[in-house]
Structure 1
Amino acid sequence: MKQSAARPLLWLGALLAVYLCAPFAASIPQIGQADWASVDWRATWSAVAVSAMSASVATLIILAGGVPLGYWLARSRSRAVALLGFVVQLPLALPPLTSGVLLLFLVGPYSGIGQFFDGRLTDSFAGIVLAQTFVAAPFLIIAARSAFAAVDPVYDDVAATLGHHALTRFFRVTLPIVWPAIRAGLALAWLRAFGEFGATVMVAYHPYSLPVYTYVVFGGQGLPAMMPLLLPTLAIAIVCAVLSVYSRGARASLAPPTDNGDEPASFTPAAPVQSGEVLRLAFDATRKLGTFNLDVAWQPRTRRLAIIGPSGSGKSLALRIIAGLEQNDAGSVTLGDADLGALPPERRQIGYMPQDYGLFPHMTVAQQLAFPVGADATNARYWLAHLGLDKLTARLPRELSFGQRQRVALARALSRHSQLLLFDEPFAALDTPRRRRLQQSLRALQREIDAVTVIVTHDPDEAALLADEVLVIEQGRVLQAGPVDDVFQRPASLRVAELLGLRNVGIGVVSAASVIETASGLRLPCADASLAAGTRVMWRVAPRALRATPDGAWTGTLTGHALRHGDRYVTIEIGGETFDIASEDAPHAANDVQRFSIERDGVSAWASSYASLCS
């Protein structure tokens, strides 16, 4: 079915290929009829030299200005720049003769610029270069703009956090990534300049370029004199085609890795970590982006931290403010006694890992680890061996598995003795088994280093594993912050409980000693007798506190089934409240209605100012 569907496309492609090849085939019989005797080879090679030299000069001019212009057009959102991008493409749409006329208005002998140069800009080598530059520049500019626009900004962000200033980031990261596209644009620009006729004949009829000389010979001697003049052009085209094929072959990917490499490395510290005073991160982040407002403040007391929240809550924005990649409209960011908020990202001495790890596609593993400013070669070698990467140093990122990429990014961040490591959902793109293995690896690493680590995640299990303190945010506001155990055991609101994936949680009021009346009117026993009557509370029932028993005091209805972390649960409804309990504690009944007991010791409650606001 797929082959039959693709057949019409194949025929269409083949038809165009035949048409493009047909003129070359049609020229072969004309070789014998060519007027070789009357060829002025000296004039011919002079024209070839003029075209080749002028095209090369024009291409250098286009390279010097076209790359920055393409970068500007790609990164600016100004309407004026968008209009400029439209204007620089006009030479592609204009007839070449029209382009020549426009150039005469600018540099002709009667223009202000032309008179300033005493008419030397026309009928000269300079005139040929000007004409070729005007018509060929859009090829490079468009290629450069498209290439720069396609570069993921995360590479520049990561390079900044690794200590590199803007100019260094451009030449060492951005430009090498886009260079294949720019190289292609340069080749097109050179070929277009070499073959330029219309604008050249208007601006600089003399000295003869090859296209103009071909036109002159054709007008004087006719078609038989054309074949000798076509040979240089065909030879150049063949050379360009060969170089293109060779370049494409050289860029072909190497063989994929033979091992998956996602098993966690064995974390056995070479020496025990010498911990001094524990560094503490504190930040007050305020940022307005369109209709979204972030206003988050946190002063944790430990060094393993997590920020958790749903998509669009502002957790990644908060992390980028800590890294210095986003402006903090108000507030501060401090690490110990250091005021990070006063420093640009390249001076914050941090390690930043975005979701896809931000490995530079043109650098090998060894080059990635040598890239950070102030990278310690001895430290880098240690982490290469420690993370199982010492045999991968010559590989590019595309030749690594997900697990290997994650470990390379870790080693790169650790190679410069970073005191603050920021992870933006580093495991989001991985399948569950691989994610669990790498989480365990990172947890082992956290025990080994002194750096403060901040994990941004929407996975509560990941936050509980990798953090000692957690910050829960939504819509740019703090919902709750504190030690992991406190937040998970006593969420401040139903929304926090939902974000943390907690079950059997609700709101209510203490109606009597050790009795909680839920929002639906269900009366729950509670072991905590210290709560005064009338206190608004949140409550939680442990799954094991609910059991199906023939003489239970509560009647419940089975309403559903669920599988979480390999364990089966059933959902029951008791007195308008919904509970999840282990399936073995609720044997299936014919009518799905059973009696249940609720153990007092399994019901916890705590005062909450949010309880009256939750629904």
Structure 2
Amino acid sequence: MTPQATRGAPVLLLLGLLLALYLLAPFAASVPFLFDADWHGADLAGILSATLVSVAAATTSTLLVTLGGVPLGFLLARADRARPRALFWRGIGLGVQLPLALPPLSSGVLLLFLIGYASPLGRLSGGRLTDSFVGIVLAEAFVSAPFLIVAARSAFRSLDPALLDVAATLGHAPAIVFRRVALPLCARGILAGAVLAWLRGFGEFGATAMVAYHPYSLPVFTYLAFGTEGLPAMLPVIAPTLLAALAALALLLGLERARPSWAVPAPADPAPLAAAPAGAAAGPAPALILRAGRQLDGFALAVEWRSTARRLAVLGASGSGKTMTLRVLAGLEPGAVRIGARDLGCLPPQERPLAYVPQSFGLFPHLPVGRQIAFAADSDPTLARHWSERLGLDALSGRRPDALSLGQQQRVALARALSRRDTRLLLLDEPFSALDATLRRRLGRDLLALQAETGLRTILVTHDPEEAMLLADELLLLDRGRVLQSGPVAALFARPVSEQAARLLGAVATARGVAIGPDRIAIGADVALRVSGAPLRPGPVGWAVRPYQLRVGPEGDYPATLLERGDAFDGQRRLRIRLGDAELDALADPDCPRPGLCRVSIDPEAIQVWSAG
């Protein structure tokens, strides 16, 4: 704690204890009257009857409220992210909480307008909706429903939306996603809301007295007893209320303390995958055609893309629209998608032949590994067993996600995706972003082996150009929602369309020159670089080369000047070199020359060139 927080702690403690004292004081004040109460003269039959009525009515109203309140809480939570309908749902959310702000007697008056003797519903029912057990249930449901709705909405709002998206892309309809994912993960919060709603209904007096004075509920019976017998007779009457409240609060405490204890020490990651067998499909795939356009606050996405490659990557900086593009392909955002002759744009996500692996892997916290892998609606048991064994997950089948390392979580997500019968497209959103460098390289090689083994078309979203070079044959470069460039990896790396594209492709330091031939760039008075690739047009160009691709040695092709020689680290030195008019970084062995004149070599294929005219 900060010094300011420490100094303020006694004040906070005092304020909290004062309120706690006030809330507990009435219970303490009743203790001396326990022995003075008329326990033998109490109307035990009336108390028992009123208690049973209140328990039955509170239970019935809570069941009814739960039946509609849980779906409503789910819809309200989901609507918080649905901007076009936000105003409508905001009104619904506000309206269903109004009973919280109303005095109970006012709630009863409003209900009489709806179900009283003179109302259309009252006349239609012959007056059976008031002064009856049904009336008690309706009154308690009206005043207690907001407690459950608010609790359910809060529970569903805290749910990671990626889990619902993944379940949909694994072939499950919305109702199944709700039942198998949302409901189990939010059950404790919903049950806590149901307990609060039961307590509110059990103790309701005002609305009940207005709508259904008979049969007596326990609060109404308590009021009558106080009016006829006075305070000494009240302890036997309120005893059932106290017992019911204590039981419900004990249940709440149990829910709070019953946190799932799934985590156990994560075992080491399984061994790297063996090399993929030969013979996997490597030829062109059916043409993938994508058109996506979204307009959000401060951001616009406009993407058109066509490719027949099997290994694709979407490369861009954070906020460029990469993930949104992937979500369009998955059917989680609107857009036109076609694969060959098949139009996917009109299909919901659960009907598309694909599997989606979000950045967080999207594993369901309540399911063990075995059930995760078999979760898809069209999961093939044979494929599930194959990929579980192939990815080294057999020994982990009983573990839940929080007992797995990040590498194991990624393998589970891949096994689940590959276990679908009809998967034609594997969508991977930044699959290595949460991993350290060593594990990232290892799992990248694993994914490369899986690509070769399955022949599946994969689309990888990444901000790392090295991942894109390793795992993709074609690239889509995005910048602020717009396509900068698309095409084969080698072509884009050799000829980025602009300096911005070159930087996205990994160029750190850029330089200027003049194309003086189809494969020559003049970068100074006496230096003309030789480049490969498509012939250059004469004129100003930009160019870049990575530090590890520039070699210093006495047999180098170009004269240069070594300006700085850094300290040796990890078997290399970082150098600063002037080549023509450009100053570049380079990496060299620790025993490289000292500052002064030197010579350098650059592979022509390593030089990126773009028009600067």
Match of 1:325 among 313, 316, 332: 332
Moved more, 219-228 or 360-369: 360-369
Q: Which of residues 391, 398, 402 in structure 1 aligns to 2:406?
A: 402
Kindly indicate whether the alpha-carbon contact (under 8 Å) linking 2:314 and 2:478 is maintained by their aligned counterparts in 1.
yes
Count residues in correspondence: 600
- Indicate the residue corresponding to 1:371 in structure 2: 375
Which amino acid in structure 2 is aligned with residue 443 of structure 1?
L
User: Structure 1 length as normaliser, TM-score?
Assistant: 0.87
Select the residue among 84, 89, 92 that pairs with 1:84. 92
CA deviations 1:338-364 (Å, max 9, x no partner) are 433343321222111000011122222
Query: In the alignment, residue 119 of structure 2 is paired with which amino acid?
Result: S
Deviation at 1:429? 2.0
> What secondary structure is seen at the aligned counterpart in 2 of 1:430?
coil
2: CA distance between counterparts of 1:264 and 1:257?
20
Which structure 2 segments of 5+ residues have no match?
A: 80-84
Residue 27 of structure 1 deviates from its aligned partner by 2.7
Shift of the 575–201 alpha-carbon distance from structure 1 to 2, 3 Å rule, reads same
Q: How does 1:93-112 map to 2 (within 5 A)?
A: 93-112=101-120
For residues 23 and 42 of structure 1, the distance between their equivalents in structure 2, rounded to whole angstroms, comes to 27
Cα separation, 2, equivalents of 1:415 and 1:438 = 19
CA–CA separation in structure 1 for the residues paired with 2:606 and 2:249: 77
- Which residue of the other structure, out of 279, 289, 300, is the alignment partner of 1:283? 289
Shift of 1:224: 1.6
Change (3 A) 1:573 1:58: same
Q: 1:64–1:15: structure 2 CA closer, same or farther, 3 Å change rule?
A: same
Name the structure 1 match of 2:357: 353
SS of aligned partner of 1:526: strand
Please state how far the C-alpha of 1:162 moved relative to its aligned partner.
0.7
Of 489, 498, 505, which aligns to 2:494? 489
Cα contact 1:507–1:611 (8 A) shared by 2: no
Q: Is 2:47 aligned against 1:44?
A: yes
Matches within 5 A, 1:517-596: 517-518=522-523, 524-527=527-530, 534-540=538-544, 547=552, 556=561, 558=563, 567-573=572-578, 576-584=581-589, 587=593, 589=595, 594-596=596-598
| Contact 2:562/2:594 (8 A) holds in 1 | no
8 Å contact 1:261–1:401 — kept in the other structure?
A: yes
> Contact between 1:306 and 1:467, CA under 8 Å: does it hold in 2?
yes
How far apart, in 1, do the equivalents of 2:503 and 2:294 lie? 27
What is the CA-CA distance between 1:209 and the residue it aligns to?
A: 0.4
After TM superposition, give the deviation of residue 12 of structure 1 in Å.
Answer: 4.8
1:136 Cα deviation after fit:
0.6
Whether 1:386 and 2:390 are equivalent positions in the alignment is yes
Change (3 A) 1:260 1:502: farther
Helix, strand or coil at the partner of 2:149 = helix
> Which is further off, 472-481 or 162-171?
472-481
Whole-angstrom distance in 2 between the partners of 1:550 and 1:566: 22
Tell me if 1:184 matches 2:186: no
Corresponding residue for residue 421 of structure 1 = 426
Among 28, 31, 44, the residue aligned to 2:31: 28
Deviations 1:12-59 (A, max 9, x none): 545544444443333333221110121111111110011111111211
CA gap 1:95/1:388 in 2 versus in 1, 3 angstroms: same
C-alpha displacement of 1:215 = 0.9
Alignment of 1:227-376 (within 5 A): 227-254=235-262, 256-267=263-274, 275=281, 279-290=285-296, 292-328=299-335, 331-334=336-339, 336-376=340-380
Q: Does 1:149 align with 2:152?
A: no
Counterparts of 2:417 and 2:194, CA distance in 1: 36
Name which of 60, 63, 66 aligns with 1:63: 66
Cα 1:343–1:94 change in 2 (3 A) is: closer
CA distance in 2, matches of 1:222, 1:532: 102
Give the percent of matched residue pairs that are identical in Structure 1 and Structure 2: 47
**Residue 436 (structure 1) shift:** 2.4
1:501–1:119 CA distance, 2 compared to 1 (3 A): same
TM superposition shift of 1:564 = 10
CA–CA separation in structure 1 for the residues paired with 2:483 and 2:571? 32
Matches within 5 A, 1:146-225: 146-225=154-233
- Give 1:602 shift: 4.4
242-251 vs 472-481, which moves further? 242-251
* Change over 3 Å in CA distance of 1:111–1:341 after alignment to 2: closer
In structure 1, runs of 5+ residues without a counterpart are none
Distance in structure 2 (CA, Å) of the matches to 1:125 and 1:265: 67
CA contact (8 A) 1:464 1:484 kept: yes
Relative distance call for 1:54 and 1:602 in structure 2 (3 A) is closer
Alpha-carbon spacing, 1:218–1:469, altered in 2? closer, same or farther (3 Å) = same
Q: Give 1:23's aligned amino acid.
A: P
Q: Return closer, same or farther for 1:288/1:531 CA change in 2, 3 Å cut-off.
A: closer
Contact 1:352 1:423 in 2 (8 A): yes
Distance (Å, rounded) in 2 between the aligned partners of 1:220 and 1:596: 109
1:562–1:574: structure 2 CA closer, same or farther, 3 Å change rule?
farther
- The normalised TM-score by structure 2 is 0.88
CA distance in 1, matches of 2:47, 2:398: 49
Paired residues of 2:562 and 2:598 also in contact (CA < 8 A): no
Quote the offset at 1:91 in angstroms.
Answer: 1.4
SS at match of 1:456: strand
| C-alpha distance in structure 2 between counterparts of 1:449 and 1:489, whole Å | 29
Structure-2 separation of matches of 1:505 and 1:51: 78
Find the residue that maps to 1:78 and give its secondary structure: helix
CA RMSD of aligned residues (A): 3.4
